[in-house]
């Protein structure tokens, strides 16, 4: 992972100070924007990190030197409580930080915003108070809560604030908490479990549980095969989410049994949350039935389609790109967009009990149609790995979000269609391309799903595999000799079922495109490859795999936002051979 080092630029505090403020008699304040857009890179958990040691069951030891600051601000939900102005937080006379998550509208009505700065050299002894400032006060702000943590340790929390920030009568341009530096509340979020849990990559004998807390707190995960067993279960895992990961945590639980439903919960600070449940996969190589869904493009705040998806009870759901629309190079921007996305109620409910896998496309990478030369791509990768439970992201020597996952005798190969695109003139880069083919060839799976945010067809948009014709032709030539391959994709804001034209000696490869889950649609187009297209609103694709048949089958359903069947396709394994 990467650390974000922020510059500290001297600026002056506002001169029109209220009677409740503390004058700045020592000269200009030192302000830092949280979070900045210009990261410098270093390794997370380095020797200089305050959390370089495994915290174990007792928790981390917080040094006097502070490297990472988190500030959480809550805004009241009454009308006009929010502000478009930047808010500054000062921890003493000279250390002040501008609250700004790039490419995000901070401090809106009823919002809870989290800001962070890394690579600092603060001393805990110098953190003396919490002061809020706003610029000119024309746009009044009504804060409800402020919380501060240093390297993950909560050092200040005050909710139920009564101050009005502004420049009119009864308002303050600068406000210092009269309670001093104190912890008078647990946090600004309703619970210390701020997001999740999410069930990530799940196999026959393991699962990944992702979650986020509001600070570095002890987290314990328990699971059992029944609710009664859960009540007396000992923790299966104990961990401490760290500041450098924005308090996100992915825990792998091993030693599980295939095709088994487990009940689990999460304990934080002595409070247990849940229970929820998930089901492990079939044993690797075992034939049988599998139902999975997938989709892409989740932009709008309201995402009711996930409630519909939950009713279909998929064994697995894949997010195939544009999982948020941050279009940002900023770690703060990415994190805030992920927090927002993971808190959409119907979406969150699906992910608590359904194993999920994810890859990205352009909007949750760095921006529209961006490629491997994009500034901020390492920041995007860091944020992606922080916020999903895939369990693997690229290889040790090849960064990226690509990974492979097997469920029974079904293989899912998730590609990274952004990080390496164009770097060497190819779509995936040489290393990922070799990894893809090696993975497909080495697998004995009946069906092998190759997942890309962008469409694989040569007839795709200027942002698809078709924009790299040599790479697209290479892919089809390689697949021609590999049985059972099916493409999954998203991006285009309509759902399509295609038979991508075969390379010489090969077979027409089905491409299933699912888009959008929560966004506007684009119009269907004619094509000789096209089996079906749907463009009349949000949609998703559900695939029923039956590999136990003499001729294994895929029954593909395109479903609209209400769950109605609008298109279908039945594919036999015998059709997927050279």
pLDDT, tens only, 495-547 = 999 999 999 999 999 999 999 999 999 999 999 999 999 999 999 999 999 99
Domains with residue ranges and CATH for the chain: 9-176 (2.60.60.20), 281-575 (3.60.21.70)
Cα 421 from chain centroid (whole Å): 21
DSSP state of 353: H
The pair phi, psi for residue 532, each rounded to 5°, is -160, 150
Percent of the chain with pLDDT over 90: 87
On whether the CB atoms of residues 335 and 383 are closer than 8 A, the answer is: yes
Give the strand order in the sheet containing 153-159.
112-117, 69-75, 143-150, 153-159
What's the CA angle centered on 497, arms 349 and 531, to 5 degrees? 150
The string of pLDDT tens digits covering residues 49-85 is: 333 345 666 788 999 999 999 999 999 999 999 998 8
On whether the CB atoms of residues 359 and 416 are closer than 8 A, the answer is: yes
Name every residue whose Cβ is closer than 8 Å to that of residue 240 and which is 6 or more positions away in sequence.
55, 59, 60, 152, 216, 217, 218, 219
Taking the CA atoms of the chain, what radius of gyration do you get in angstroms? 25
On whether the CB atoms of residues 211 and 196 are closer than 8 A, the answer is: yes
Separation of alpha carbons 97 and 81, rounded Å: 22
Separation of alpha carbons 406 and 157, rounded Å: 45
The string of pLDDT tens digits covering residues 108-124 is: 999 999 999 999 999 99
Bridge partners, 264 (sequence order): 223, 276
The string of pLDDT tens digits covering residues 173-199 is: 999 999 999 999 999 999 999 999 999
DSSP state of 573: G
On whether the CB atoms of residues 34 and 6 are closer than 8 A, the answer is: yes
**For the chain, what is the mean pLDDT?**
91
Global pTM reads 0.91
CA-to-CA dists, residue 253 to 221, 222, 389, angstroms = 9, 10, 12
Q: What integer is the mean pLDDT of 17-25? A: 28
């Amino acid at each position: 992972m990467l650390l974000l080092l922020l510059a500290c630029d001297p600026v002056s505090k506002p001169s029109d100070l209220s009677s409740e403020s503390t004058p700045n008699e020592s000269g200009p304040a030192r302000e830092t924007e949280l979070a900045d857009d210009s990261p410098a890179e270093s390794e997370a958990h380095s020797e200089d990190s305050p959390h370089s040691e495994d915290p174990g069951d007792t928790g981390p030891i917080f040094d006097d030197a502070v490297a990472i600051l988190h500030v959480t601000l809550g805004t009241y939900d009454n009308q006009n409580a929010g502000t478009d102005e930047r808010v500054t937080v000062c921890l003493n006379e000279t250390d002040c930080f501008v609250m700004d998550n790039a490419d995000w509208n901070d401090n809106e009505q009823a919002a809870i915003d989290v800001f962070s700065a890394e690579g600092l050299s603060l001393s805990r002894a110098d953190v003396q108070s919490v002061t809020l400032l706003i610029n000119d006060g024309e746009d009044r702000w009504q804060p409800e809560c402020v919380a501060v943590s240093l390297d993950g340790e909560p050092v200040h929390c005050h909710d139920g604030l009564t101050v009005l920030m502004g420049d009119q009568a009864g308002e303050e341009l600068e406000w210092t908490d009269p309670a001093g530096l104190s912890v008078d509340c647990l946090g600004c979020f309703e619970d210390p479990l701020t997001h999740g849990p999410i069930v990530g990559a799940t196999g026959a004998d393991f699962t990944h549980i992702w979650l986020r807390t509001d600070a570095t707190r002890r987290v314990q995960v328990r699971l059992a095969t029944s609710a009664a067993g859960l009540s007396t279960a000992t923790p299966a895992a104990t961990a401490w989410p760290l500041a450098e990961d924005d308090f996100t945590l992915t825990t792998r639980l091993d030693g599980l049994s295939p095709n088994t439903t487990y009940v689990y919960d999460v304990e934080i600070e002595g409070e247990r949350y849940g229970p929820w449940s998930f089901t492990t996969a079939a044993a690797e190589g075992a034939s049988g039935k599998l139902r999975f869904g997938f989709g892409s493009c989740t932009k709008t705040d309201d995402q009711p389609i996930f409630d519909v998806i939950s009713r279909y009870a998929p064994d697995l759901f894949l997010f195939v790109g544009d999982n948020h629309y941050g279009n940002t190079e900023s770690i703060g921007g990415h994190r805030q967009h992920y927090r927002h996305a993971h808190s959409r109620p119907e979406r969150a409910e699906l992910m608590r009990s359904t194993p999920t896998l994810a890859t990205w496309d352009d909007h949750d990478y760095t921006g529209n149609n961006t490629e491997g030369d994009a500034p901020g791509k390492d920041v995007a990768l860091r944020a992606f790995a922080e916020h999903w439970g895939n369990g693997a992201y690229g290889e040790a020597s090849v960064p990226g979000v690509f990974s492979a996952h097997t469920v029974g005798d079904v293989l899912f190969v998730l590609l990274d269609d952004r990080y390496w695109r164009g770097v060497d003139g190819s779509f995936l880069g040489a290393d990922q391309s070799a990894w893809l083919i090696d993975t497909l060839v080495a697998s004995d799976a009946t069906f092998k799903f190759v997942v890309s945010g962008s469409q694989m067809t040569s007839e795709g948009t200027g942002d698809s595999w078709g924009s790299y014709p040599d790479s697209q032709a290479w892919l089809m030539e390689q697949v021609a000799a590999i049985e059972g391959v099916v493409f999954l994709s998203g991006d285009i804001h309509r759902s399509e079922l295609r038979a991508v034209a075969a390379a010489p000696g090969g077979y027409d490869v089905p491409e299933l495109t699912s888009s959008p889950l929560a966004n506007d649609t684009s119009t269907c187009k004619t094509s000789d490859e096209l089996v079906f297209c749907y463009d009349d609103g949000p949609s998703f694709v559900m695939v029923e795999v039956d590999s136990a048949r003499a001729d294994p089958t895929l029954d593909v359903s395109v479903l609209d936002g209400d769950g109605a069947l609008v298109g279908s396709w039945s594919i036999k394994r015998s059709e997927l051979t050279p």
